[in-house]
């Protein structure tokens, strides 16, 4: 059954002819299912979100990211995300599809989520974090180039804690790594860099032994030079003394070389030194990871949505930190994008709707922003977005160009000029919009020319 939602009546037909001509949003008639709703506070954005959600076909999944915690809709399964609830999404869980998932994509998603905040990673930090995440997977036997190793099970904080306390290492290897695993690995790397000793033993690290071997070989070469000089002078006594020193230096070098070989435990010691070359960079990455883990948004405790069709993410507790909020939403949107791509093309049928309020906090002109990816690339996979904001100026150019429907409610006077410029309409068309009384809508309907039409609610 196709979704049909009455937006209102044609404003001019009603005013001039006193005729009610319904303006209807029809799932089958619009060229795509992306919807933008713009209006100042109190103009009715939440009302229209409810209208679209409650009238959607029951086969369509809906994810509502509720920034203010006020989008209450009957039949919706709601989960609050906060430090005390401990619900989150483990960012290291893989999409196991060999074409749309894998280790590299998961690593990129984590890095892109962090870089969406006001404190982007530096080039060296990004490189170190990429190595840490990849090594954390490798430690569990999950290899970037081998999809057969990507399948593991998801475990909660309590399950993981129990496995560690009871030393069930084989079972632990069967679950995906978590942020605390990456932090522990990073601290081990930092200890190795600082102290040159293996954190699991008392012997010298291979790097320290190799440095000692190099010092001994330097002494050997020095003795060879001195011996050559003694021969040139014809000083037999000095030649004999220098030969003894050379032999002694060779013995020390041979002993140091053997110690170096005996202290190589993994064969990757020098790769690690190259990857984690700077103590300061590793330390700064550890700090970022610990701060990220402290937010709780990436806890390995999946929200109990069950099989709910309409899932509401109550994000109000996260609203105090814009960076945390942005990371959470963008990471989750990327996961949804991967899931829908894995399902394949939908033949134009709408399968899933994402609802996101306060577009100013999440949308920008970056082409890698998942909102822009959804609106430009995901129609054929059956994924659409309903994006709400206080002004069309808060929507990206990609969103405005590609959204099948733009519904304008009453806008603040300060937003008129920028909104008119971005929408390429006359400012006077915005002056007549009244809160919860009248609006303007542009629908890209198949076979029709798209233009804004005034409607009476």
Digit-coded pLDDT (tens) for 297-314: 899 999 999 999 999 999
- Whole-number pLDDT of residue 428: 84
Is the domain of 364 the same as that of 424?
A: yes
With respect to residue 95, please indicate whether it lies within any of the assigned structural domains: no
- Whole-number pLDDT of residue 434: 86
Yes or no: say if 79 and 303 are a contact pair by the CB < 8 Å rule: yes
With respect to residue 399, please indicate whether it lies within any of the assigned structural domains: yes
Is the domain of 394 the same as that of 364?
A: yes
The whole-number average pLDDT for the span 181-193 is: 86
* Residues 359, 85: Cα–Cα separation, whole Å: 26
Q: If DSSP codes are grouped into helix, strand and coil, which group holds residue 268?
A: coil
In the DSSP assignment, the letter for residue 22 is E
Q: Which residues, in sequence order, are CB contacts of 189 under 8 Å at separation 6+?
A: 132, 272, 276, 282
- Whole-number pLDDT of residue 383: 98
Is the domain of 353 the same as that of 444?
A: yes
Is the domain of 327 the same as that of 445?
A: yes
User: First-to-last CA distance in the chain?
Assistant: 25
Point out the least confidently predicted range of 82-86, 196-200, 239-243: 196-200
Question: pLDDT-derived band of residue 211, with 50, 70 and 90 as boundaries?
Answer: low
Residue 332 has pLDDT above 50, yes or no: yes
Domain that holds residue 377: 4-87+306-456
With respect to residue 300, please indicate whether it lies within any of the assigned structural domains: no
With respect to residue 92, please indicate whether it lies within any of the assigned structural domains: no
With respect to residue 392, please indicate whether it lies within any of the assigned structural domains: yes
- Which residues are bridge partners to 385 per DSSP? 354
Is the domain of 428 the same as that of 338?
A: yes
Is the domain of 321 the same as that of 252?
A: no
Is the domain of 419 the same as that of 380?
A: yes
Burial 209-244 (b: 16+ CB within 10 A, else e): bbebbeebbebbeebbebbeebeeeeeeeebeebbe
In the DSSP assignment, the letter for residue 146 is -
Provide the mean pLDDT of the chain. 86
Place of tokens 């060779």: 250
- Whole-number pLDDT of residue 203: 37
Residue 200 has pLDDT above 80, yes or no: no
Phi, psi of 426 (to 5 degrees): -80, 140
Tens digit of pLDDT for each residue in 339-386? 999 999 999 899 999 999 999 999 999 999 999 999 999 999 999 999
Question: pLDDT-derived band of residue 249, with 50, 70 and 90 as boundaries?
Answer: low
With respect to residue 67, please indicate whether it lies within any of the assigned structural domains: yes
CA atoms in the 13 A half-sphere facing the CB of 445: 15
Is the domain of 135 the same as that of 284?
A: yes
Task: Give the CATH number for residue 433.
Answer: 3.40.50.300
* Residues 232, 272: Cα–Cα separation, whole Å: 46
Is the domain of 275 the same as that of 360?
A: no
With respect to residue 71, please indicate whether it lies within any of the assigned structural domains: yes
With respect to residue 128, please indicate whether it lies within any of the assigned structural domains: yes
* Residues 40, 444: Cα–Cα separation, whole Å: 24
Question: pLDDT-derived band of residue 279, with 50, 70 and 90 as boundaries?
Answer: confident
Residue 52 has pLDDT above 80, yes or no: yes
Is the domain of 116 the same as that of 172?
A: yes
Measured at the CA of 178, the angle between CA 205 and CA 117, to 5 degrees, comes to 100
Tens digit of pLDDT for each residue in 122-174? 999 999 999 999 999 999 999 999 999 999 999 999 999 999 899 999 999 99
Q: Which residues, in sequence order, are CB contacts of 114 under 8 Å at separation 6+?
A: 120, 121, 129, 288, 292, 327
Is the domain of 252 the same as that of 324?
A: no
- Of 427, 415, 414, 376, nearest to 397 (Cα)? 376
**Which tokens sit at 344?**
């394949």
Tens digit of pLDDT for each residue in 391-419? 999 999 999 999 999 999 999 999 899 88
Is the domain of 175 the same as that of 244?
A: no
Q: How many domains does the chain have?
A: 3
């Amino acid at each position: 059954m196709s979704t049909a939602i009455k937006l209102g009546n044609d404003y001019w037909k009603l005013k001039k002819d006193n005729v009610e001509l319904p303006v209807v949003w029809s799932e089958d008639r619009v060229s795509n299912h992306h919807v933008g709703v713009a209006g100042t506070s109190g103009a009715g954005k939440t009302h229209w979100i409810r209208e679209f959600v409650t009238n959607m076909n029951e086969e369509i999944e809906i994810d509502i990211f509720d920034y203010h915690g006020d989008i209450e809709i009957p039949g919706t399964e709601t989960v609050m995300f906060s430090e005390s609830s401990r619900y989150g999404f483990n960012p290291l869980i893989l999409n196991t599809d060999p074409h749309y998932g894998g280790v590299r994509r998961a690593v990129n998603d984590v890095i892109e989520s962090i870089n969406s905040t006001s404190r982007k990673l530096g080039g060296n930090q990004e490189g170190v974090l990429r190595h840490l995440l990849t090594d954390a997977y490798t430690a569990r036997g999950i290899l970037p180039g081998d999809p057969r190793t990507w399948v593991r099970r998801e475990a909660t904080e309590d399950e993981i804690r129990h496995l560690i306390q009871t030393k069930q290492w084989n079972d632990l290897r069967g679950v995906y790594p978590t942020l605390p695993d990456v932090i522990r690995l990073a601290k081990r790397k930092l200890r190795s860099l600082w102290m040159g000793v293996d954190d699991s033993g008392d012997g010298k690290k291979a790097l320290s032994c190799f440095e000692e071997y190099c010092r001994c070989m330097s002494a050997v070469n020095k003795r060879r030079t001195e011996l050559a000089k003694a021969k040139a002078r014809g000083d037999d006594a000095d030649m004999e003394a220098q030969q003894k020193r050379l032999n002694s230096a060779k013995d020390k070098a041979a002993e140091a070389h053997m110690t170096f070989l005996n202290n190589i435990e993994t064969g990757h010691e020098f790769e690690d030194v190259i990857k984690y070359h700077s103590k300061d960079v590793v330390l700064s990455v550890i700090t970022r990871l610990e701060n990220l883990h402290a937010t709780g948004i990436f806890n390995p405790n999946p929200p109990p949505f069950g099989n709910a069709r309409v899932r509401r993410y109550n994000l109000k507790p996260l609203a105090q930190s814009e960076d945390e909020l942005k990371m959470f939403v963008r990471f989750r949107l990327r996961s949804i994008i991967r899931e829908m791509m894995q399902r394949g093309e939908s033949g134009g049928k709408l399968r899933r709707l994402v609802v996101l309020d306060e577009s100013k906090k999440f949308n920008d002109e970056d082409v890698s922003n998942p909102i822009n990816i959804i609106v430009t690339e995901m129609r054929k996979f059956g994924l659409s977005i309903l994006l709400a904001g206080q002004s069309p100026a808060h929507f990206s150019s990609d969103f405005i160009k590609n959204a099948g429907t733009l519904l304008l409610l009453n806008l603040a006077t300060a937003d008129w000029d920028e909104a008119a410029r971005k929408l390429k309409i006359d400012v006077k068309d915005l002056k007549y919009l009244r809160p919860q009384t009248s609006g303007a809508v542009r629908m890209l309907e198949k076979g029709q020319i798209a233009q804004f039409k005034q409607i009476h609610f």
